[in-house]
Each structure stands twice: as C-alpha cells, then as structure tokens.
C-alpha cells in the first residue's frame, strides 16, 4: 500500500473512530456477496427459462382437448350395444329381480332419441316391491352387469315404520347405439 493511502486511512480512523473501518468492511462484503448472489440468481433464472421452454414444448405436443374428447366419445359410442340388446337387458332386469325376491309390476318402456348425439336412450320405469336388502342387491347386480345402464331415479316408501317390505319406483336409462 502506498504511504499516502495509509496516512489517509489513519486520518479517517482517528476522525471517524472504529465505525469507519467496520463500514468499509461491510461495503466490501456487500460487493462480494452481490456478485456471488448475482451468479446464483443468473443460474436460477437460466434454469427457469429452460424449464419454461420444456413445458411449452410439452403443452404443444399434447393433443387438442376437443379432438381428444371427440375420439373418446366415438369410442364410447362404438362400445354401446345395438337396439337388439334392449330386449335382452329388460329380460335380465326381470330375471334378476325374480332371483332376488323383488316383485316387479307392469312398467313403462320408452325409446328416446337423444338430440345431436348418435345414441338412443331406452327409458325403463318399473314399480318394484321387496325387502330393502333384496332391492339393493338387485339394483347393484343390474348396474354391475349392464355397463351401459344408468339408474336415473329411485324412490322408496314403506307402509309402516316396522314393515319389512319396501315399495320402490325405479327409473333406468339403457343407452344404445343408433342404427
């Protein structure tokens, strides 16, 4: 160090006391940390840019959701049974009810064409009578065996509080492929 610099530092130390060198040391430390921290921040920013670029590529490679939905809908429609299966489904519903001890009265059967879709809905409304566990087992068996059927409505009523028999009104929708 030059003698003038040393003299200047001694003068500043006597004039300002010990806070002057401490302040100088803190300024030097701040400069070093700023450069060291900036390098880390630059690296982190570069990593985030790379991550963003890879995410944009991944999103660009994904199929169009509307096209994917249309293909899934076509796949579902291909899996639906044709109109001839409706009779088999009704026979299965009645046979299953008899096996579970559920009595079915005369129901209402209606074929409804869904607007805009390539499917038909066979709506089946049946009054049923039986014990609650038997009704529940019957409903579960029908739903498990016929994948294109939906339970639209179920209403239960009991004549008296302690009575075992339950009267039910069940509305099914059996979905079919249009011919």
Flag whether the pTM goes above 0.75. Answer: no
Q: Could you give the CA distance from residue 161 to residue 159 in angstroms, rounded to a whole number?
A: 7
pLDDT at position 60? 77
Output the six-digit token pair for 105: 């009265």
Question: What single-letter DSSP state applies at residue 159?
Answer: S
CB 42 within 8 A of CB 34: no
CB 105 within 8 A of CB 168: no
Structural element, H or E, at residue 130: strand 119-131
pLDDT at position 98? 92
pLDDT at position 96? 92
pLDDT at position 30? 80
Mind listing the pLDDT tens digit of every residue in the chain (179 residues)? 678 877 877 777 777 777 777 777 888 888 777 777 677 777 888 899 999 988 888 877 776 666 677 777 677 777 777 777 888 888 998 999 999 999 888 888 888 876 666 778 889 899 999 999 999 999 999 999 988 888 999 999 887 777 788 899 999 988 887 77
- The residues, any chain, with a CB within 8 Å of residue 102's CB and separated by 6 or more, are 128, 129, 130, 134, 135, 138
- The residues, any chain, with a CB within 8 Å of residue 31's CB and separated by 6 or more, are none
**Pairing outcome for strands 149-157 and 165-177:** antiparallel
How far the first Cα of the chain sits from its last, in Å, is 99
pLDDT in tens, 84-114: 788 888 899 899 999 999 988 888 888 887 6
């Amino acid at each position: 160090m030059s003698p003038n610099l040393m003299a200047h530092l001694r003068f500043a130390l006597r004039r300002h006391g010990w806070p002057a060198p401490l302040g100088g040391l803190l300024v030097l430390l701040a400069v070093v940390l700023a450069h060291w921290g900036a390098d880390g921040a630059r690296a982190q920013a570069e990593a985030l840019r790379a991550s963003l670029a890879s995410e944009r590529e991944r999103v660009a490679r994904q199929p169009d959701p509307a096209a994917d939905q249309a293909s899934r809908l076509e796949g579902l429609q291909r899996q639906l049974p044709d109109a001839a299966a409706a009779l088999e489904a009704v026979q299965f519903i009645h046979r299953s009810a008899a096996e579970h001890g559920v009595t079915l009265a005369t129901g209402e059967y209606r074929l409804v064409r869904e607007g805009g879709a390539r499917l038909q809905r066979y709506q089946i409304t049946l009054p049923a009578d039986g014990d609650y566990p038997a009704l529940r087992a019957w409903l579960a068996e029908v739903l498990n065996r016929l994948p294109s059927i939906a339970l639209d409505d179920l209403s239960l009523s009991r004549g008296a509080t302690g009575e075992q028999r339950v009267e039910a009104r069940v509305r099914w929708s059996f979905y079919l492929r249009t011919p």
